[in-house]
């Protein structure tokens, strides 16, 4: 009798060996429709972020000082000319005007100045480096002066919201990943040390976790942001925010890792490794930490959406990303500029919010999918 | 019982000192102090600056400043606000009341709405209703609270422009004629103003809590004692409401104590967006002007509430779970 006939898998024509854990997890993950959907959207968003200067018709902080476009509403792209014939897409130049009744500032189309939408348009005055490497000045689309193409309107300073949305994506979408990577690393190191050594080290680390956890997180975060000087280079502010978000986020993971590690320390396999003469670093790194791997992945993917939310909140309050850089949170900040009911005159300033929702949602789906895939009790 | 409370208090002293010290150090690490702005003002003389420094103890060393503050705090003196030159307690007490009003009301509604939704989702798992609710709550969990608040303001103002009537006021806590109203009138006026911010808070929180409660119910519904209860032939209602719900509620009831400090900081962004005169806007202002004692004492008050909240949690846990006895 051959071994294969004993194996039920082999009878169904499948490979006669057990699946590896990675295979099982991947198969489970693929069954999670929402997670796949979330992953796909995220992939598209991150690819868009890499190409952000190419997709954006304007530069990060580009605005005209002669042609004021403060809170310019979204430009209408026309596909039909005056006689109703289908033509290449074009836009009209606009002129600022005052509404005679409400004195609100409006923009009216100047029907006599028509600019065709150009694709792969060179902008010699706004060069950029694609992928930070290749110097170029080609933009996916654009119009020449005196027309403007603001497909999502313009902000307080008359800058293109659509362009700043993509530049901001680079901040909003990556800050979460960096911050959570940092907090996971800290949680892993401190949790690992506390769990393995116990004693006073454990005591000190766990008190520190308690202290950080005791202060209301919004207050702590706001207090911490005041450490960043007002005149600090905005790029360094970006790193500073990553550091702050990482610093306040490691406690929960450290606690879980600590309890897992301290349980493992007493296990047979670790005792065997110790009696074989393995060094501490080897025991922790090779025998103990890999067991916390699934915990880490889930922690990463569920931590990212909350870090994105935290960053957007900070930037919304003006305590996060600073000008001239944009983040989705700081862009929404301008919606209430000049009276908190004034959003009604510039609803397009709320558009970045929907991108926050989309990104957070997709990360959440992805995280849930991964968690279920790693959890043996939830396998189907 | 008394011994237990005392032990808990003693355990929390190092956390209290550590957290206030951390806050103090962070504020001190921030560049400049509140006098910088005064120094730029040409009308301020060097003598005034010196007097202010002495008055607020800024001429002392850092450890001395901290210990002075701690000593004052323990005796109930929260220090003086630099910015408004009044006692910190007088500054924050009315704001705490405003924040508490908003969050406390919200929490009651939250539990009244989210728990039944969670129960429904668990006992009708994967039904159409459950799927719809799950999808909606998933959607709202992704909303930053300030964004949700802005959308609500947008909807309310649009409604006003369309129909000419205010469905709900979109900012502040009182109407302009508040002072002339009778007591009941004042109450109704605040109630009218609280609706929109409370709605913004509720939508996000219901989405979160109903999902965790559903998961908690499901966890117990799949356990052996529930199967046993069904096998004994108990009515489904008894199985769900007596055997499962009671167990599932335990951590939430115990968690009520933990919500106490949230009454201070919970409404956060919503207060800023809706112009609600709560604690978060004051805290933000204090950060901008580096008003040390406002920041430090506000954090300390929330820590005290955390300690009290933890005690309440322990007490409630002992009440709802007969296996736990501290005394």
Residues pairing with A130 in the sheet: A134
Write down the pLDDT at residue B326: 61
CB B172 within 8 A of CB B186: no
Q: Is B254 on the interface with A (CB under 8 A)?
A: no
Residues of A in contact with B157 (CB under 8 A): 341, 343-344
Contact state of B280 with A364 under an 8 Å Cβ cutoff: no
Q: Does one domain contain both A288 and A359?
A: yes
Q: How many percent of chain B have pLDDT more than 70?
A: 94
On the question of pLDDT at B297 being above 60, the answer is yes
Residues A244 and A339 in one domain: yes
A64-68, A318-322, B165-169, B280-284: segment of lowest average pLDDT: A64-68
Distance CA A162, CA A140 (A): 13
Listed by start position, the domains of chain B span: 2-74, 92-320
- CA–CA separation, A316 vs A312, rounded Å? 6
- Please give the distance of CA B55 from its chain centroid, rounded to a whole number: 33
What is the number of structural domains in chain A?
2
Residue of A216, A221, A342 best to disrupt the B interface, most CBs of B under 10 A: A216
Q: Which of A186-195, A243-252, B180-189, B198-207 has the lowest mean pLDDT?
A: B180-189
Residue in A with minimal Cα distance to B158: A344
- Domain check: are A191 and A86 in the same one? no
Cross-chain residue pair B280–A224, CB shorter than 8 Å:
no
Contact call for residues A165 and A152 (beta carbons, < 8 A):
yes
Portion 339-358 of A in contact with B at CB < 8 A: 340-341, 343-344, 347, 350, 353, 356-358
Domain presence at residue A44: no
- Interface check A50 vs B, CB under 8 A: no
Indicate the residue among A101, A134, A159 that finishes a domain. Answer: A159
**Partner residue facing B19 (CB), from A214, A312, A356:** A214
- From the list B153, B264, B299, the residue facing A343 with the nearest CB is B153
Cβ under 8 Å to B: A residues 160-179: none
Give this prediction's pTM. 0.83
Residue in B18, B126, B146 to test binding to A, most A beta-carbons within 10 Å: B146
Does residue A137 share a domain with residue A196? Answer: no
Contacts of A299 (CB under 8 A, 6+ apart): A180, A184, A187, A253
> Are A304 and A206 members of one domain?
yes
Interchain contact, A215 vs B23, CB within 8 Å: yes
Which residues of chain B neighbour A230 with C-beta distances below 8 Å?
Answer: 31
Local confidence pLDDT in tens for the 380 residues of chain A: 444 444 444 445 555 577 777 777 787 777 777 888 888 999 999 998 888 888 888 877 777 777 777 777 787 777 777 777 777 787 777 777 777 776 667 777 777 777 877 777 777 777 777 777 777 777 777 777 777 788 887 887 778 888 888 888 888 888 888 999 999 989 888 888 888 888 888 888 888 888 888 888 888 888 888 888 877 888 888 888 898 888 888 888 888 888 888 888 888 888 888 888 888 888 877 777 777 777 787 788 778 888 888 888 888 888 888 878 888 888 888 877 766 667 777 888 888 889 999 998 888 888 888 877 777 666 66
Minimum Cα–Cα distance from A353: chain B residue: B147
Same domain membership, residue A116 and residue A230: no
Q: Residue B229 pLDDT > 50, yes or no?
A: yes
d(CA A154, CA A152): 7
Calculate mean pLDDT across residues B148-164. Answer: 84
Contact B217/B123 with Cβ under 8 angstroms?
Answer: yes
Q: pLDDT value at position A178?
A: 92
Per CB-CB distance under 8 Å, the chain A contacts of B170 are: 340-341
Nearest neighbour of A317 by CB, restricted to B261, B284, B290: B284
B302 contacts A215? CB cut-off 8 A: yes
| Rg from Cα positions in chain A | 27
Asked if A194 and A150 sit in the same domain, the reply is: no
Helix intervals (H) in chain A? 3-6, 8-11, 21-31, 33-50, 52-55, 161-197, 199-214, 217-225, 234-249, 251-265, 268-275, 280-282, 293-316, 328-333, 351-374
* Cβ-Cβ contacts under 8 Å, B161 against chain A: 344
Is A375 part of the contact surface with chain B (CB cutoff 8 Å)? Answer: no
Predicted confidence (pLDDT) at residue B289 exceeds the cutoff of 50:
yes
d(CA B250, CA A193): 33
Note whether B18 contacts A208, CB cutoff 8 Å. Answer: yes
* Cis before B146? omega within 30: no
Same domain, residue pair A248 and A170: yes
Q: What is the pLDDT of residue A182?
A: 92
Cβ pair B265:A218 closer than 8 A: yes
Q: Does the beta-carbon distance from A353 to B151 stay under 8 Å?
A: yes
pLDDT at A380: 60
CA distance B271 to B97: 13
Find, among A309, A299, A365, the residue nearest to A172 by Cα.
Answer: A309
List, as ranges, residues 112-131 from B with C-beta within 8 Å of A: none
Q: Which of A133, A159, A185 is at the close of a domain? A: A159
CATH number at residue A312: 1.10.3720.10
Identify the domain boundary among A159, A187, A208: A159
pLDDT value for B176: 72
Please indicate, yes or no, whether residues A359 and A211 belong to a single structural domain of this protein.
Answer: yes
Residues near A215 by beta carbon (within 8 Å), at least 6 away in sequence:
B19, B22, B23, B299, B302, B303
Residue B106: enclosing H or E segment and its boundaries? helix B88-123
Query: Of A358-372, B2-16, B48-62, B309-323, which range is least confident?
Result: B48-62
Of A214, A319, A361, the CB nearest to B306: A214
User: Quick one: pLDDT at residue A12?
Assistant: 53
Does residue A70 fall inside a structural domain?
A: yes
Q: Is A229 on the interface with B (CB under 8 A)?
A: yes
Cα B195 from Cα B169, distance rounded (Å) = 8
Residues 263-322 of B with CB under 8 A from A: 264-265, 268-269, 272-275, 280, 283-284, 287, 290, 295, 298-299, 302-303, 306
Range of the domain at A172: 163-378
Bridge-based pairing of strands A86-98 and A128-130 is unpaired
Q: Which of A281-285, B98-102, B252-256 is most confident? A: B98-102
| In B175-244, alpha helices (H) | 183-221, 224-231, 236-237
Say whether B19 and A215 touch across the interface (CB within 8 A): yes
Q: Mean pLDDT of all residues in chain B?
A: 82
The fourth-level CATH superfamily of domain B92-320 is MetI-like (1.10.3720.10)
What does the CA dihedral A29, B131, B267, B316 come to, rounded to 10 degrees?
-90
Nearest CA of chain A to the CA of B98: how many Å? 17
């Amino acid at each position: 009798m051959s071994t294969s006939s004993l194996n039920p898998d082999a009878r169904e024509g499948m490979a006669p060996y057990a699946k590896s854990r990675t295979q099982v997890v991947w198969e489970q993950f693929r069954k999670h429709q929402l997670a796949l959907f979330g992953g796909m959207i995220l992939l598209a968003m991150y690819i868009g972020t890499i190409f952000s200067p190419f997709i954006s018709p304007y530069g990060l902080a580009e605005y005209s000082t002669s042609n004021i476009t403060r809170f310019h509403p979204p430009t209408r792209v026309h596909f039909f000319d005056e006689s109703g014939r289908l033509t290449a897409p074009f836009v009209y130049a606009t002129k600022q005007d005052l509404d005679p009744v409400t004195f609100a500032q409006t923009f009216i189309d100047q029907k006599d100045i028509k600019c065709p939408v150009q694709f792969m348009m060179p902008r010699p005055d706004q060069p950029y480096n694609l992928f930070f490497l290749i110097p170029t000045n080609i933009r996916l689309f654009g119009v020449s002066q005196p027309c403007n193409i603001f497909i999502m309107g313009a902000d307080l300073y008359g800058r293109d919201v659509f362009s700043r949305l993509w530049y901001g994506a680079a901040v909003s979408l990556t800050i979460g990943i960096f911050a959570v990577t940092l907090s996971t690393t800290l949680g892993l190191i401190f949790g690992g040390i506390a769990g393995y050594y116990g004693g006073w080290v454990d005591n000190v680390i766990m008190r520190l976790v308690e202290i950080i956890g005791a202060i209301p997180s919004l207050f702590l975060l706001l207090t911490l942001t005041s450490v960043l000087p007002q005149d600090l280079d905005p790029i360094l502010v970006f790193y500073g925010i990553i550091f702050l978000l990482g610093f306040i986020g490691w406690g929960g993971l450290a606690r879980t890792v600590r309890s897992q590690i301290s349980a493992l320390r007493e296990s047979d396999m670790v005792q065997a490794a110790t009696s074989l003469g393995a060094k501490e670093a080897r025991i922790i790194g090779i025998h103990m930490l890999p067991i916390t791997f699934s915990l880490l992945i889930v922690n990463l993917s569920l931590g990212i959406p909350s870090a994105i939310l935290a960053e957007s909140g900070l930037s919304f309050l003006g305590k996060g990303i600073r000008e001239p850089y944009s983040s989705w949170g700081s862009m929404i900040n301008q919606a209430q500029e000049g009276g908190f009911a004034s959003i009604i005159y510039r609803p397009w300033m709320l558009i970045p919010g929907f991108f926050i929702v989309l990104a957070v949602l997709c990360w959440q789906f992805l995280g849930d999918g991964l968690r279920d895939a790693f959890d043996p009790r939830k396998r189907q | 019982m008394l011994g237990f409370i005392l032990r808990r208090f003693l355990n929390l002293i190092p956390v209290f000192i550590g957290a206030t010290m951390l806050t103090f150090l962070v504020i001190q690490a921030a560049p400049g102090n509140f006098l910088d702005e005064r120094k730029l003002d040409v009308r301020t003389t060097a003598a005034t600056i010196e007097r202010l420094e002495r008055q607020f103890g800024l001429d002392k060393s850092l450890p001395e400043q901290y210990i002075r503050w701690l000593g004052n705090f323990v005796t109930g003196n929260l220090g003086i606000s630099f910015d408004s030159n009044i006692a910190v307690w007088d500054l924050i007490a009315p704001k705490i009341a405003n924040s508490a009003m908003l969050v406390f009301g919200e929490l009651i509604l939250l539990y009244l709405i989210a728990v039944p939704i969670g129960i429904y989702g668990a006992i009708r798992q994967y039904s159409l209703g459950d799927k719809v609710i799950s999808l909606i709550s998933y959607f709202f969990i992704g909303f930053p609270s300030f964004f949700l608040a802005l959308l609500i303001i947008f909807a309310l103002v649009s409604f006003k422009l369309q129909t000419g009537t205010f469905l709900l006021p979109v900012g502040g806590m009182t109407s302009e004629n508040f002072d002339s109203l009778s007591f009941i009138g004042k109450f109704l006026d605040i109630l009218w103003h609280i609706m929109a911010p409370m709605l913004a808070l509720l939508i996000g929180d219901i989405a979160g809590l109903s999902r965790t409660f559903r998961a908690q119910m499901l966890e117990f519904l799949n356990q052996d004692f529930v199967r046993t209860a069904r096998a004994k032939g108990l009515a489904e209602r008894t199985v769900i409401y007596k055997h499962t719900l009671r167990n599932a509620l335990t951590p939430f009831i115990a968690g009520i104590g933990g919500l106490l400090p949230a009454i201070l900081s919970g409404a956060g962004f919503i207060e800023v967006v809706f112009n609600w005169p709560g604690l978060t806007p004051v805290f933000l202002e204090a950060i901008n002007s580096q008003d040390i004692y406002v920041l430090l004492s506000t954090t300390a008050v929330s820590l005290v509430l955390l300690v009290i909240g933890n005690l309440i949690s322990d007490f409630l846990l002992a009440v709802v779970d007969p296996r736990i006895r501290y005394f």
